[in-house]
Chain A
């Protein structure tokens, strides 16, 4: 995998001379104190990130943490004071304004928190805006815009004006406007933050569906950790313009780099973050044996007994109550499943369900006790 978006020690300073400020802020000056003394504020402080092709990368932070500025640095709406942004290996600072416009038209779609739809255009003309700017003829761009609207479920509304639509529908138009260009990169600035919780979760679902259809590189800004966990392949946590930690939700949860990171996860639903594989343990009775016959197995004492073959594939489980259960009949968990999803199965089975990885290899079992313990991660 190569990185689609590469941010290299980016700085964005507001309020005054940047070179000097960077030098001072880089040495251990308290940013708040510095701001009060000089009126100079660093919106983005020394941020280096790489976003891979096809991943949903969530930048998460409270308001004022610099995450929106970071997104605008990616498409050049904001110019960095220092550092470099590379899109598909191309440095933004080396581009002329025409080249930058071309890059924005062809490679990047953007969705805004405030929707930012053009009130004087109909829904379909809003969706076709990017194509119009790129100089596509009317018929063609309307066709593409209509397809994008169809995809977000708004084909019937295409003659209306944005102000005749509800908030959720307006943001679908915003999404369609970005999708109509079919860009490899999608920038979403708190795209769902202004929506009702129910509609927000619908939109998240829609985004995941779209991502499953066609892999795009998505940079998603959010202040909602639940949203970040649900959508993000990786999450970067930002505070005061700095990235505190970047990684998968589970690694942020289980190995927080600082108390500030831990603080973020204070109210989080752990069960929705933890992978079952991470809490699986080896059972007491485990036979690794590809050839033994039933009578020999029966001789093994213990309940339940898990039997694997030499390539660690599950052959079956013997329990006292149900006797021998063939592998095909055993209810299993897959690695990647969240603890929350595993709960009903763990609760209903007479034996702890085994966890298999994507190749079907046995990783361990999840006992009800382990499951309960996992929920009280010390935060």
Chain B
């Protein structure tokens, strides 16, 4: 077993309602204050499975490790290429084009605030982690959603797995992630990926299943092959639902990336974690508000992906202009 993964009893004591010492938390365990519980037979079996994987499939994990690492490094390079100001202006411009003027202003001010608090670097780290994890989650989740919509057995097999992935406390993912991939960005991304994938699978499946039967029938009546049916009828009609799944996945990825700072994911989560460890409310708040700003920006922008072209600012100004021109 890797060092640090077993239970270490925390030394937490209270006197008169004020905490005297708050230690540990180095691996994200908020220990049961009352009793120290040991893993039972089921837990030992899972332990054994992970050890077995480590022994016999190490090279596979190495490959994944290298690949994901390269991806996240590349993403971070890309995000750091523009200066903070340029970056903020790009995001703000994107917001103006796709969302609204108010949002654009919010994005500009919010990013300035992050910059002023000196949290720009951690924010970019968090963003690159979120984008990488979301990208991978979508890469795996979308085809799984499509498959499970079209093949009932796949869905039957997948559904309990998704239930498990969604209801398992997020912290639990951190343990095997660390054991398999050590600490750092890669296990953070893997844990995030597992945690954030279910919504996109579920909503893709749901979206495709909910395509009205008469549209499917029309598609078939005009001679669609199965593939044409998927691409020309099912996916386009399911798109709004699929996109809300994408949005959910991105948001979940953000929340998990913050938690994953406990295994060395870095970024804003680190700031929050430091705030907790040092009981520094101000630092915790600064980290937290940065996460919120990032969340709002990611949420609105990813939602705007599914927005009809008619409702964007670009389309609105086009309509205004044409109204102005015609006497």
Which residues of A approach B to under 8 Å, CB–CB? Answer: 72, 75, 77, 97-98, 101-106, 108-110, 112, 114, 116-121, 129-130, 132-134, 177, 181, 187
Task: Give the 7 A-B residue pairs with the shortest CB-CB distance, closest first.
Answer: A105-B223, A104-B223, A116-B218, A110-B221, A116-B214, A101-B223, A130-B222
Q: Quick check: is B6 within 8 A (CB to CB) of the other chain?
A: no
In B187-243, which residues have CB < 8 Å from any A CB? 212, 214-215, 217-225, 228, 232-233, 236-237, 239
Known: A119-B237, A120-B236, A120-B239. A129 touches B222 (CB 8 A): yes
| Contact among B214, B223, B233 with A130 in the assembled complex (CB-CB below 8 Å) | B223
Question: Complex Cα distance A120/B237, Å?
Answer: 7
Pull 8 A–B residue pairs with CB atoms less than 8 Å apart, ordered by A: A75-B221, A98-B225, A101-B223, A110-B222, A112-B214, A117-B218, A118-B215, A133-B224
- What would 8 more interface pairs be, CB under 8 Å, given A120-B237, A129-B218, A133-B223? A98-B225, A102-B223, A104-B221, A105-B222, A109-B222, A112-B214, A133-B222, A133-B232
CB of A133 within 8 A of CB of B228, answer yes
How far in angstroms is the closest Cβ of chain A from B311?
Answer: 13
**Smallest CB separation, A368 vs chain B (Å):** 50
Complex contacts, B232 vs chain A, CB 8 Å: 129, 132-133
Interface size on B, residues (CB 8 A): 18
Taking each of B220, B221, B225, which has the highest tally of chain A beta carbons within 10 Å of its own beta carbon?
Answer: B221
B217 closest partner in A (C-beta): A77
Chain B residue contacts of A112, Cβ below 8 A: 214, 217-218
Question: B235-255 toward A: CB 8 Å interface, digit per residue (1/0)?
Answer: 011010000000000000000
- Closest beta carbon of chain A to B231's beta carbon, Å: 11
In the complex, how many angstroms separate the beta carbon of B301 from the nearest chain A beta carbon?
Answer: 22
Least CB distance from A88 to B in Å reads: 16
Minimum Cβ distance to chain B for residue A251 (Å): 32
Whole-angstrom distance from the CB of A136 to the nearest CB of chain B?
A: 12
Query: Which residues of B sit under 8 angstroms from A118, Cβ to Cβ?
Result: 215, 218, 233, 236-237
Q: Write the nearest CB–CB distance from A78 to chain B, whole angstroms.
A: 10
Across the interface, do A134 and B237 meet the contact criterion of CB distance under 8 Å?
Answer: no
- The interface residues of chain B lying within 8 Å CB-to-CB of A119 are 237
Distance between B207 CB and nearest chain A CB, rounded to angstroms: 12
CB-CB under 8 A from B223, the residues of chain A are 101-106, 130, 133-134
CA distance A75 to B221 in the complex (A): 7
Please state if B222 and A104 are interface contacts (CB–CB under 8 Å): yes
Closest Cβ–Cβ distance, residue B312 to chain A (whole Å)? 16
CA distance A323 to B232 in the complex (A): 74
Question: What residues on B are CB-neighbors of A116 within 8 Å?
Answer: 212, 214-215, 217-218
Q: Do residues A101 and B224 form an inter-chain contact, with CB atoms below 8 A?
A: yes
Is A101's CB under 8 angstroms from B218's CB?
A: no
B176 → A minimal CB distance (Å): 41
Rounded to whole angstroms, the CA-CA distance of A118 and B231 in the bound complex is: 13
Given A77-B220, A133-B232, CB of A101 within 8 Å of CB of B225 = yes
Residue on A with the closest CB to B237?
A120
Complex Cα spacing A118 to B234, Å: 10
B236 cross-chain contacts in A, Cβ below 8 A: 118, 120-121
B224: chain A residues within 8 A (beta carbon): 101, 133
Which residues does chain B contribute within 8 Å of A106, judged by CB atoms?
223
A62 to chain B, nearest CB (A): 21
